[in-house]
Amino acid sequence: MEITYLGQHFCCEKISLGLIEKINKLIDEDSNLIDVSNTLSGKIKKEYDVHKHLKQADTEEEIPNFISRANDTYEKDSAFKWDVKFYNAWGNDQKEGEYQIVHQHSGKSTIGYSSILFLKVPDFGPEFTETALPTNGRTVLLGKAGGSLNNTCHTINPVVGDMYVFPYDMEHLVYPFIGSGIRRTISMNFDLLYEKA
């Protein structure tokens, strides 16, 4: 597992391509996807519930196991007993010109983990200028650290199978891209529940 610090930190791990293929197949074959775009902040037309697809595909519990390992990397008050619980999940089929505004996630709990799993990554098309790192189709994570000589954001270069986990309140965005392909991701939220030990 790779861990990167932006004041807060995020974790990244590779999910097996076998699981990626299963999830993509279930989504592609489902003619009754439940539209959830009216409940989300994205400027993306096709956003849909994927809870049943994940449950059916992830029989080895790769994703919950990664969330558990990521959870172990975060500092938590030992006066409390902590538990991670799945809250919701949705797919994003982003097309040319669509994008995701700066936002953060939430669940029933005020603290928890957001995640992004890359399922399909198209050619993002030419950049308008070549004077900086590419941004077309990239996700940017914005940390809660300030001051000089500090890393405050991280641009993710999407790779199929990469999954990122980060705190609910870590803001992030997705840039638009140019081209005819589909950029497919799954976003998942996991509440962090606690009670006095």
Nearest to 70 by CA among 6, 2, 116: 2
The CATH H-level (homologous superfamily) assignment of domain 2-196 is q2cbj1_9rhob like domain (2.60.120.620)
Locus of tokens 């939430």:
106
* Residue 191, pLDDT score: 97
Flag whether pLDDT at 64 surpasses 80: yes
CA distance 103 to 172: 6
Backbone dihedral region for residue 59 (phi beyond 0: left; psi -120 to 50: alpha; all else: beta)? alpha
What pLDDT digit, counting tens, does each position of 7-34 carry? 889 999 999 999 999 999 999 999 999 9
* Residue 183, pLDDT score: 98
Contacts by 64-68 with C-beta closer than 8 Å and gap 24+? 66/1, 66/11, 66/13, 66/15, 66/163, 66/165, 67/113, 67/115, 67/165, 67/190
Q: How far apart are the first and last CA of the chain?
A: 29
What pLDDT digit, counting tens, does each position of 121-167 carry? 999 999 988 888 899 999 999 988 777 777 788 999 999 999 999 99
Q: What percent of the chain has pLDDT above 70?
A: 100
Flag whether pLDDT at 66 surpasses 90: yes
* Residue 131, pLDDT score: 80
pTM for the full predicted model: 0.94
* Residue 197, pLDDT score: 82
DSSP code at position 52: H
**What are the DSSP E strand ranges found in the chain?**
2-6, 8-14, 46-49, 80-94, 100-103, 112-120, 139-142, 153-156, 162-167, 171-174, 183-196
* Residue 109, pLDDT score: 92
Mean predicted confidence (pLDDT) in 72-83: 93
* Residue 166, pLDDT score: 96
Residues forming a β-bridge with 166 = 114
Look over the chain and give the mean of its residue pLDDT values, rounded to a whole number.
94
* Residue 7, pLDDT score: 80
CA distance 77 to 189: 21
Flag whether pLDDT at 194 surpasses 80: yes
Q: What percent of the chain has pLDDT above 90?
A: 83
Amino acid at 14: K
